[in-house]
Every structure is written in C-alpha cells, then in structure tokens.
Amino acid sequence: MQSIQKPFPGKRTITALVLAFSLTYCASVEPKPKIEIPSAKTSIQIQPIFHGSLVLTIGEKTIYVDPSWGGDKYKDLKKPDLILITDIHPDHMDLKTLGEIATKETPIIAPEAVAKEAKDYVNITRLKNGQSTSVGDINFSAIPMYNITKEHLDKHTKGRGNGYLIKFGGKTIYISGDTEDIKEMRALKNIDIAFLCMNQPYTMSVEKAADAVKDFKPKVVYPYHYRGKDGLSDTEKFKALVKESSPSTEVTLINWY
C-alpha cells in the first residue's frame, strides 16, 4: 500500500497511515454494541466507534470523542451535544466527518492547534494542558499527551494535544489521546474508567501501557487506539500483564476494528 503524505500547517509532515488503513478496515465494520456502566448517580453509556473514536452518553448529554471515519458511522446515533477533540491528526480531527455530524455552532472542546484548523466552527472552547471547563454538571480537564521516546518525539509534541479527564456524578473518565506513558498519566488518581492507547510506533507499547496502569490503577481500563504500523497490538497480553501487576484493575476488551 502506497504511503500518502498529509501536511499539517506549521508542523512536520507525517505518513497518513491512518487514512490508508481506514479504507481497508473501516468500510466493513459493523456497529459496536453499546456498553452500560453501572452508576448510582448518573447513567453512563459507552458506544465504541472505531480506533480512537467513541461516543459517551452521560445522563442526558451525548459527547462525541474524536469523531472520524465518516458520518455513516454515526447515522443511527443521537446528534452530539458536545464534541471533544484531542489532536490535529486525521484519526482525531476529521473535518469532513465533523461537517457531516455537526453544525458550525455545535460546542467543541479542543486544544488551540485543533481550533486553528477548525476555524469555521464558532463555538470552540480552547483548553491548554492544565485548564478545565464545565458544561452543566460535567467537568472537562485537559491533561498532557505526548511522546517521550527520543526517536518519536516529533509524532506528538508536548502541549499540542489534550488528553481529557471527564468528571461527573462522583465518577472520573480518563481519555488518553495519543501519548506514551508520561509522568502526568502515572500520577493520576481515582480514575474509574480509562481509555488507553497502545500502538507502535505512535504511542505506547503494550508493556509500557500495562506498566503505567500499575502506577495509576484505574478501576476499569479499555484498550483503544491499538492498531499500529504492523497491525493490532496484543491486547490479550496487555490484559495478562495488568492482571499480574495491578489485579485491582479490570481490563475490558472491545473489538474496535
């Protein structure tokens, strides 16, 4: 399969591998089942979409996270009350998909780099790492996501993208975005649900992801964003490593592809 180069203004040029594999793997994917999360205070539903894209329903709010891969993926879902975007890469910020699922007035929370690219959307809350905002009784905090391996530093630079903490009804969800096992992740506390990326050479290895879980001990972790340059990461191995080193954490495996 021939590589396609896609430039990002002011940034390096990357191989748009995600666009290539979307053509190969995305068209035939059936809708994923919705997951109900028990909660005494607020109803929570998780709808996996594909790769790093998902939809959260928290109470009455429908939140799209990194909506990509075409509007057809979302045609049977409720329209978003809010959209979270983590980074500028096309598997996270897909302007074509945004145009198919949202209006120019749909509220979006995103880092500044995304806001510059999505300048036609007039209701963007720009968050830097460390900043937060609230929508009703749901709080959103932007936390760092970046590479720390020397040869991968240019893939996700510190401060450009956001991971997110979503807090509501006494629960906290962590969405890693594209990151390695950074100190900010390892220092997290009281995480109920974590969505953790693991694909080489772009984010973490399975081993590094499991080692990070040992430090921040989420109650439940969902591996996501786990297709890399050489195919799918071994999520069963991740589950076994977590069971050995952090038995209090439940690993839930979903076929995102």
What digits encode the pLDDT tens for the residues 50-68? 999 999 999 999 999 999 9
Q: Sheet holding 171-175: strands in order across? A: 132-135, 138-143, 163-168, 171-175, 193-197, 220-224, 250-251
Which DSSP letter does residue 135 get? E
CA dihedral 75, 48, 183, 144 (to 10 degrees): 0
> What is the band of 31 on the pLDDT scale with cuts at 50, 70, 90?
low
Across the range 198-206, mean pLDDT stands at 95
pLDDT for 7 beyond 80 = no
Across the range 247-253, mean pLDDT stands at 97
| Per-residue CA distances from 164 to 13, 31, 194, 249 (Å) | 26, 25, 10, 20
pLDDT for 8 beyond 60 = no
Across the range 169-185, mean pLDDT stands at 97
Across the range 145-165, mean pLDDT stands at 94
The residues with which 48 forms a beta bridge, in sequence order, are 54
Quick one: tokens of 87?
Answer: 């980074």
- How far apart CA 186 and CA 191 sit, in angstroms, is 11
Please, what is the average pLDDT of the chain?
89
- How far apart CA 53 and CA 215 sit, in angstroms, is 25
> What is the band of 22 on the pLDDT scale with cuts at 50, 70, 90?
very low
pTM of the model: 0.89
**Among the four given CATH numbers 3.40.50.920, 3.40.50.720, 3.60.15.10, 3.20.20.120, the one describing domain 5-251:** 3.60.15.10
pLDDT for 41 beyond 90 = no
Quick count: other Cβ atoms within 10 Å of Cβ 232? Answer: 14
The pLDDT assigned to 68 comes to 97
Quick one: tokens of 255?
Answer: 């076929």
Across the range 217-221, mean pLDDT stands at 98
pLDDT for 86 beyond 60 = yes
Mean pLDDT is lowest, of 15-19, 130-134, 248-252, for 15-19
Across the range 158-174, mean pLDDT stands at 96
Across the range 177-191, mean pLDDT stands at 98
> What is the band of 30 on the pLDDT scale with cuts at 50, 70, 90?
low
Q: Which of 185, 161, 179, 165 is nearest to 224 (CA)?
A: 179
* Domain spans of the chain, in order of start: 5-251
Across the range 106-110, mean pLDDT stands at 98
